Each structure stands twice: as C-alpha cells, then as structure tokens.
Amino acid sequence: MEKALIKKILVILSVVIISGVIIVMLGGCAQKITESLVEEAIENAAEKEGENVDIDLEEGTVNITDEEGNETSFGESEIPEGWPSAVPVNDNITIQFALSEETDNKMNYNISGQFNGTGEELYNYYKDELSGWNEELSNVMDAGDSGKVYELQVSNDQYYVSLFITESKDSTDVMLTVNGK
C-alpha cells in the first residue's frame, strides 16, 4: 500500500501544480468546470496505476479518498482541521504545506514550512511544550557551514510526534508530524 500511496502522491502532485495554475487563472463558472475536469483527470490517472480514488479539489487543496475510505488532504497552508490541541503549533511557523490523513481509523497530520527565528528557539519551544511526553529521540547535529539539524520525537498514550528542523544561514525550515496511535 505504501508504494501505491507514493505513486498516487506523485501523480496527483504533478497534476495539481498544472491544474492549480489553470484554476487560478479562471474564475466563476469556468473555474468549477475546470476543477471538475482536473478531478476527473487525476482520478483516471490513478485508476491507470491500479488505484481507485475520489478527488475533490477545493480552494487550492486536494482531498483524496481511496477505496478503503482513507482520506488524505494536500496543499493547505494552515493547520489541518482536527489537529490535536495537545500539540501546539508555534505562531512563528509560516505553514507552506499541510496534510491530514486517516489510515486504519487513525488520524495523521503533517505541517511543514519556515520558522521566523532560530532552530534552537523552535527546538527548545517544543522541548518545553511537550516536556510531559515520553522522549523517544532528541538530537542536535551541527553540519558546519551548512547549518544545524534538530530532531525531537515524543509520544504519549494517544500520539507520536516528530519534529525535524533544518537551519541554514538563509532559513529555518520545519516539519512537524503527529500520528495517532
């Protein structure tokens, strides 16, 4: 199933980039027609790969439902709906990509983007905010001129949380993942 999901994602993302440009360029009724055509094209491409999915393009997002009822959403630039309140999202993270997915009746969430600050500040923020959780991994790697990499993995009775931060002289990038148990 993982290879199939990766195939779906690659097919969808390539089509979404093209379709996003078309949809933005068109308005009103033409936009709805274009969305319907793009949805059908993506569904047909997935079907050729042996997958049965239902695509719903909605205001810049792609919502996928597979034949088992698992749902995946791509392309959001805000915290996904249903994000667990037990896992805060730092206000200084500019979300560039968000994903929510239901697999085997468990919700999984992911956000990635840039942090307005240092990797150390964000790493310490999450170490403090999630200090009551079981720490599975805590690591800081200095990559010299390339910057630093920070990793934190914690869990509680409901969730696994992974934080991955890369800091360079130009930016601080972050990926935060919450997986239901």
**For residue 3, what pLDDT is reported?**
53
Tell if the pTM clears 0.85, that is, is over it. Answer: no
Instruction: Please give the backbone phi and psi of residue 165, each rounded to the nearest 5 degrees, phi first.
Output: -125, 130
Q: How confident is the model at residue 90 (pLDDT cuts 50, 70, 90)?
A: very high
Domain boundaries, the chain: 1-66, 77-181
| pLDDT tens digits along 46-69 | 666 666 666 666 656 666 777 766
Among 13-22, 33-42, 71-80, where is mean pLDDT lowest?
13-22
Measured at the CA of 105, the angle between CA 181 and CA 133, to 5 degrees, comes to: 20
Supply the pLDDT for residue 144: 87
**Residue 74 in this model has a pLDDT that exceeds 80:** no
The DSSP element (H or E) to which 35 belongs, if any, is helix 28-48
Least confident residue range of 8-12, 98-102, 137-141: 8-12
What pLDDT score was predicted for residue 104?
Answer: 82
Ranked by mean pLDDT, which of 10-14, 77-81, 90-94, 141-145 comes out on top?
90-94
d(CA 131, CA 134): 8
